[in-house]
Amino acid sequence: MSEFAKLMAANDWYDVKDSFASISEAQVVSALKKSQQGGELSLDDFKALISPSAGPYLEHMAHLSQRLTQQRFGNTMQLFTPLYLSNMCSNVCTYCGFSMENKIRRTTLTMEQIEQEAQAIKAMGLDHILLVTGESERKVGVAYFEQALGILTKYFSHISMEVQPLKTEEYARLAKLGVESILVYQETYHRQKYAKYHLKGKKSDFDFRLETPERVGQAGINKVGIGCLLGLEDWRTDAFFVAAQLEFLEKKYWKMRYSLSFPRLRPCEGGGEINSPMSQRELVQLICAYRLFNHQVELSLSTRESAVFRDNMLKLGVTTMSAGSKTQPGGYANEDKSLEQFSIDDNRSVAQIASMITDKGYQVVWKDWQTGFTQF
């Protein structure tokens, strides 16, 4: 059992879940005071800030979150878009349109199609892409990624990946080709319920997934993004374990940078029940709490959320947004919606999102730091 898995085992899921009900307003006020005075927040403080008792303090939290984010990141917003390379998948996940048992059309982009997608994305002005695939070792393994990167690095200076968890040596191969960051979400930290949502395939190995950010760190990749799928299980408890994993990783892999995402479960082919619905207000609370807990972590908000919500969140802690997203392979050159992983809510173009950002007095960052600049 890994070090972090042991730490998790020491915090029983149901004990953590039940503890939220007994958090008092005094604990919330104490965490806010600490934050206001520039102090570092503990995991217990974070817990207080995402508890129901912190609900009435949302405005105060938002104000502090805005201030801290501006101090650390300035008035900037990074933009990126996902590039779906394949919807082949060897896993059965109950909440995902790409699940192996769903009867959808499957495709994997050829190198020629990848080049066409790259050109279409580049024409929108973007320089940062996130490569996304289903998890099919056979069809989209490291050799395929290496070939694709050979093309994509000609077009983009910042490439992130959200693909199946790989071995350390495989991440090292990708790092050599210029991959800057890896995103891997645990979905839920509830070990037993995880098995209920991940019925078949490699993804059903809870521990292999949990240890992935460590393998990314060992391979020398610059940044790792973690998170959970909000709506699967009690969102407060899952968010607590995300914060605990972030704290653990930052201590052990202090050279790495970190990002957090907060995807809420969306409708998709094959259904998927939302067991623990999270309101927009609660999502704001969570984002602000993450910022108060960790001043330097990047917070990324996707087009799963509505345009109005994203516009309102611009100044409240978020540092990165996706824009112009298509969630189907080949979606930028071809509009075929039948291949979508999930439907998105903010359908605006990259240009429209960029102008919303500048209208609000913020600057668009098209290009993130490259590893070369940070490894002196």
Q: Which residues bind ligand SF4 (CB under 6 A)?
A: 89, 91, 93, 96, 98-99, 134-135, 203
Alpha-helix runs per DSSP H in the chain: 3-9, 13-19, 25-36, 43-50, 58-73, 111-123, 142-152, 168-176, 191-197, 206-210, 212-218, 235-252, 280-293, 307-313, 350-359, 371-374
Q: How far is the CB of 276 from ligand SF4 (least distance, A)?
A: 18
The closest alpha carbon to 183, from 161, 158, 205, 207, belongs to 161
Tokens found for residue 351: 């240009």
Indicate the residue among 55 and 270 with the shorter CB distance to ligand SF4.
270
DSSP classification of residue 170: H
Q: How far is the CB of 96 from ligand SF4 (least distance, A)?
A: 3
Q: How far is the CB of 134 from ligand SF4 (least distance, A)?
A: 4
Helix (H, G, I), strand (E, B) or coil at 321: strand
Measured CA angle at 166 (ends 163, 168), to 5 deg: 140
Q: How far is the CB of 167 from ligand SF4 (least distance, A)?
A: 17
The closest alpha carbon to 47, from 19, 26, 68, belongs to 19
Q: How far is the CB of 270 from ligand SF4 (least distance, A)?
A: 9
Indicate the residue among 134 and 317 with the shorter CB distance to ligand SF4.
134
Indicate the residue among 204 and 334 with the shorter CB distance to ligand SF4.
204
Burial zone of 56 (CB within 10 Å; 0-12 exposed, 13-18 middle, 19+ buried): exposed
The closest alpha carbon to 158, from 122, 114, 134, 108, belongs to 122
Indicate the residue among 44 and 137 with the shorter CB distance to ligand SF4.
137
Helix (H, G, I), strand (E, B) or coil at 108: strand
Q: How far is the CB of 162 from ligand SF4 (least distance, A)?
A: 9
Would you say 201 and 164 are in contact if contact means Cβ atoms under 8 Å apart? no
Indicate the residue among 144 and 253 with the shorter CB distance to ligand SF4.
144
Q: How far is the CB of 135 from ligand SF4 (least distance, A)?
A: 4
Indicate the residue among 32 and 89 with the shorter CB distance to ligand SF4.
89
Indicate the residue among 109 and 350 with the shorter CB distance to ligand SF4.
109
